[in-house]
């Protein structure tokens, strides 16, 4: 196979697949596309993954990926954009799920058409070429992933500090921003050390975090249902489109002083709310990382995507209803840790349990970021887009120390000037801009490569609607909610494109092992993943 023409290298999800990656990377895209089918020929001697993932298993994968920190962070921001209008905020969650389904169906076509690609970076490379892929990878590593980590860190600190305030009253809500960042950073460093020295322990921790997430959501839903049965006055007031008080839940003075007009929710405000809600639906495309293992992808992939998003959407609606069964819209908007505020109004003991579950969920979110931190640098280094040093692993612990330390450093930088709202908006803006480009690629490749095999083909109206809605979601914050981070992102994208041109002209060399790389290798005891090391 060494004499075959290498035109496109597949992206894999984890470093433990590197041995297969070296062999599979020598297969050209045309050969893979022409030979891909639901069942392989008996005479095919190539090593390939078996299709063992059915609809039920696929739904579990996607649902587990989607349900994370979003439902504990985003509801407050969504309600703010809806000006405290609870029914409209529920509509925002439905609209967010609708946009996610449309985009996911477009990704289904890309994932089955490019079955070994496994992600947005590879789709952009196949559609637009190396330059766009280069910029995406650098932007993801330098901005999006650290910003996402910073969101998790601040949210974790908010929940822990909010719990401390509830129990001790040591500090006020206004003075807790620094405390939240410090607390979150301490946990971040602890998870970093765990991932650097014991990947197996980090994987086991992820199981515990998943259990905590499920427990927290179940408790919130059940407690909310019980509160509705016992006293439905608060939820009736929340879902009534009037500025009225019910059962002393909130007095008329607080409603008027809040400055919230429950009737005034324009289309722009609604759209900005959907923009925020999209954070909670992130992860809908993770099934595409295992496309090769899905049984009958033509039928299974759309079913998995639609069922998963619908399930998550219904769950999010139930959780929000539970929140509104106890908290007024003013209390929701004022809270920086809505699940803790919810539990504190029911029973003090419940506050401990919910706080623990939510914190485990948040820890799990950035633990996943660490577990996958080496993927993007490794793939980028294979493409020749990034210094090989960032993809190196420790000779003893077999974890990507340079990538882990690098993302932690950048996450700490993101914490200094930014709020959680700014960071969250920046992440959603970049990722959905790239997804819009990927969805456009569905139509582009139908024109440029009409003969490529497409096991699943999205309806044209679905693709067009996905492009229009996601494009609108990417543009509207620039117009109505501009932030300095957007300007910085554009400037960095231009800088990375210039870097790409300089590398292409061989003025700058990103690959290879120089003095700096050798020095860092000696300091961190890391080597290239392809290097064979004898155990000591």
pLDDT tens digits for 31-81?
A: 433 343 344 444 444 444 567 678 888 888 788 878 888 898 899 999 999
Are the C-beta atoms of 401 and 133 separated by less than 8 Å? no
pLDDT digits 0-9 by tens, 248-270: 333 433 333 344 444 467 889 99
| Range among 291-300, 476-485, 509-518 rated most confident | 476-485
**Predicted pLDDT of residue 136:** 93
CATH architecture for residues 49-527: Up-down Bundle (1.20)
Whether 505 shows a pLDDT value over 50: the answer reads yes
Give residue 290's pLDDT. Answer: 65
338-374 pLDDT per residue, tens: 998 999 899 888 888 888 888 888 888 878 888 776 6
Give start and end residues of each alpha helix (H) in 297-419: 297-324, 329-334, 338-344, 348-371, 375-383, 401-415
Is-contact 420 161, C-beta < 8 A? no
Q: What is the DSSP letter of 8?
A: -
- Give the 3-state secondary structure of residue 394: strand
Mean pLDDT of all residues in 391-404: 87
pLDDT at 496 over 90: yes
Beta-bridged to residue 53, according to DSSP, are 294
- What pLDDT is recorded for position 349? 85
Q: Alpha helices, DSSP H only, in 67-198?
A: 70-81, 86-113, 120-128, 130-139, 145-168, 177-197
For residue 28, pLDDT beyond 60: no
Q: What is the mean pLDDT of residues 481-488?
A: 88
Q: Is the whole-model pTM more than 0.85?
A: no
Question: What is the full DSSP assignment across 396-465?
Answer: TT-S-HHHHHHHHHHHHHHHTT--HHHHHHHHHHHHHHHHHHHHHHHHHHHHH-TTS--SS---HHHHHH
Query: Tokens 């023409």 belong to which residue?
Result: 5
Give the model's confidence band at 92: pLDDT under 50 very low, under 70 low, under 90 confident, else very high: very high
CB proximity list for 514: less than 8 A, separation 6 or greater:
none
Q: Is 264 exposed, middle or buried (0-12, 13-18, 19+ CB in 10 A)?
A: exposed
What is the share, in percent, of the chain residues with pLDDT greater than 90? 30
pLDDT at residue 440, as a whole number? 96
| Whole-number pLDDT of residue 172 | 52
Interval 401-445: pLDDT, tens: 988 898 899 999 988 866 888 888 999 999 999 999 999 999 999
Indicate the pLDDT class of residue 389, thresholds 50, 70 and 90: confident
- Distance of alpha carbon 488 from alpha carbon 413, whole angstroms: 14
Q: Please state the domain extents for the chain.
A: 49-527
pLDDT confidence of 169, banded at 50, 70, 90?
A: low
Coil, strand or helix at 414: helix
Mean pLDDT across the stretch 93-119? 85
């Amino acid at each position: 196979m060494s004499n075959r023409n290498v035109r496109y290298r597949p992206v894999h999800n984890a470093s433990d697949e590197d041995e297969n990656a070296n062999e599979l990377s020598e297969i050209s895209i045309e050969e893979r596309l022409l030979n891909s089918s639901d069942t392989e020929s008996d005479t095919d001697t190539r090593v390939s993954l078996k299709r063992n993932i059915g609809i039920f298993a696929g739904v579990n994968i996607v649902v587990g990926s989607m349900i994370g920190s979003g439902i504990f962070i985003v509801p407050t921001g969504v309600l703010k954009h809806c000006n405290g209008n609870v029914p409209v905020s529920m509509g925002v969650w439905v609209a967010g799920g609708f946009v996610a389904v449309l985009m996911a169906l477009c990704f289904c076509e890309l994932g089955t058409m490019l079955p070994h690609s496994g992600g947005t970076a590879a789709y952009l490379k196949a559609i637009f070429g190396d330059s766009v892929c280069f910029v995406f990878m650098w932007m993801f590593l330098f901005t999006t992933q650290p910003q996402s980590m910073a969101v998790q860190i601040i949210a974790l600190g908010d929940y822990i500090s909010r719990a401390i305030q509830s129990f001790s009253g040591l500090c006020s809500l206004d003075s807790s921003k620094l405390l939240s960042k410090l607390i979150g950073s301490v946990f971040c460093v602890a998870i970093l050390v765990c991932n650097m020295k014991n990947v197996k322990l980090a994987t086991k921790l992820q199981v515990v975090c998943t259990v905590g997430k499920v427990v927290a959501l179940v408790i919130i839903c059940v407690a909310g249902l019980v509160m509705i049965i016992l006293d439905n006055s608060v939820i009736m007031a929340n879902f009534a489109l009037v500025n009225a008080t019910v059962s002393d839940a909130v007095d008329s003075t607080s409603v008027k002083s809040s400055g919230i007009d429950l009737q005034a929710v324009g289309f722009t405000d609604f759209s900005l709310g959907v923009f925020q809600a999209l954070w909670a639906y992130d992860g809908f495309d993770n099934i595409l990382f295992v496309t090769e293992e899905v049984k009958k992808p033509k039928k299974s992939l759309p079913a998995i995507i639609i069922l998963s998003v619908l399930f998550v959407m219904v769950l999010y609606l139930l959780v929000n209803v539970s929140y509104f069964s106890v908290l007024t819209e003013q209390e929701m908007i004022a809270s920086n840790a809505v699940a803790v505020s919810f539990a504190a109004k029911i029973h003090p003991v419940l506050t401990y349990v919910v706080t623990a579950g939510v914190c485990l969920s948040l820890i799990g979110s950035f633990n996943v970021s660490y577990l996958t931190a080496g993927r993007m640098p490794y793939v980028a280094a294979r493409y020749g887009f990034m210094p090989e040093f960032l993809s190196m692993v420790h000779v003893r612990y077999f974890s990507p120390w340079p990538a882990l330390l690098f993302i932690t450093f950048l996450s700490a930088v993101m914490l200094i000037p930014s709020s959680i709202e700014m960071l969250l908006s920046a992440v959603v803006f970049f990722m959905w801009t790239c997804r819009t480009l990927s969805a456009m690629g569905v139509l582009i490749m139908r024109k440029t490569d009409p003969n490529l095999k497409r096991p699943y083909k999205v309806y044209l109206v679905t693709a067009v609607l996905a492009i229009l809605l996601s494009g609108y979601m990417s543009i509207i914050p620039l117009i109505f909610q501009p932030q300095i981070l957007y300007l910085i992102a554009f400037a960095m994208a231009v800088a990375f494109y210039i870097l790409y041109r300089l590398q292409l002209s061989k003025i700058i060399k990103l690959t290879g092992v120089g003095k700096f790389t050798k020095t860092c290798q000696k300091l961190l005891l890391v080597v290239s993943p392809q290097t064979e090391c004898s155990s000591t």
